[in-house]
Amino acid sequence: MTHLTREDLYSLEKYAEIRPAFRARVIVHKKNRRVPLGEHAALYFEDALTMQYQIQEMLRIERIFEAKGIQEELDVYNPLIPDGHNWKATFMVEYADETERRDALAKLVGVENAIWMRVEGFDAVHPITNEDLDRSSDDKTASVHFMRFELTPEMVAAAKNGAAIAAGIDHPNLNVHLSPLPDALRAALAADLSWEARSRAE
């Protein structure tokens, strides 16, 4: 997928004008990009729009308007946009209560490696996680992990042709299987994939 450039972003002044409408659009968009994995965990699949929103918010909060600062934000968030042959997601363990969250994270060591996605007819794909830095220790996992699910050309073709997509976690303390994903979510994930990327991989 095309990475964002400075030309794709709004100026601080323009973003202030359109922010309510833009934010509402992103909220609706994200509804079909969240995969719940139990009551307290979820995968949030990123794309160019979710990353544009993230960048715009960072520029707004930090009052960044110089070219160098804008490029630094682009360099941070562009790697989270899928490349046409993969899915990129943020995995979050979600507890409102801090004590509950701390206890859960201690029980979920290694959970980031137990998550999987599966295109119907193929083996499950486990993610490449936290490529920027390690977020876990021997006694607890982190509440946020960044993930990349790499697909074969055959998986890309099947997903683009309508194959069902499933997701899950196989962890001793969290076992979840979602199969198949709802149609709207499946369609959003299939849209992240590219025939062009599939052809290049072949």
* Residue-level pLDDT at 131: 73
Residues 53, 90 within the same domain: no
Q: Is the same domain home to 93 and 65?
A: no
User: ω before 127 within 30° of 0 (cis)?
Assistant: no
Residue 94 has pLDDT above 70, yes or no: yes
Of 57-71, 93-107, 130-144, 175-189, the one with minimum mean pLDDT is 130-144
Compute the distance between CA of residue 28 and CA of residue 201 in angstroms, rounded to an integer. Answer: 32
Kindly calculate the radius of gyration of the chain based on its CA atoms and give it in whole angstroms.
18
| Domain match, 67 and 161 both | no
Residue 135 and residue 190 in one domain: yes
Q: Does residue 101 sit in the same domain as residue 160?
A: yes
Q: Distance of CA 26 to CAs 7, 69, 107, 171, Å?
A: 19, 24, 33, 32
d(CA 167, CA 202): 25
Q: SS3 of 117, please? A: strand
Amino acid at residue number 148 = R
Give the type of residue at 58. Answer: M
Q: What is the number of domains present in the chain?
A: 2
Domain check: are 131 and 190 in the same one? yes
Q: What percent of the chain has pLDDT over 70?
A: 94
Could you tell me if 77 and 87 lie in one domain?
no
pLDDT score recorded for residue 2: 74
Closest CA to 200 of 80, 47, 88, 85: 85
Q: Is residue 173 domain-shared with residue 195, that is, in the same domain?
A: yes
Q: Per the structure block, which two tokens stand in for 104?
A: 């859960």
Tokens of 42: 């979820």
Which residues lie across from 89 on neighbouring strands?
A: 45, 147
- 96 and 159 belong to one structural domain: yes
CATH number of residue 194's parent domain:
2.60.40
How far is CA 135 from each of CA 98, 141, 170, rounded to the nearest angstrom?
A: 18, 7, 19
- Same-domain status, 114 and 173: yes
Q: 94 and 125 share a domain? A: yes
Q: Is the pLDDT of residue 132 over 70?
A: no
Residue 202 has pLDDT above 60, yes or no: no
Q: Same structural domain for residues 99 and 178? A: yes
Domain around 120: 36-45+83-202
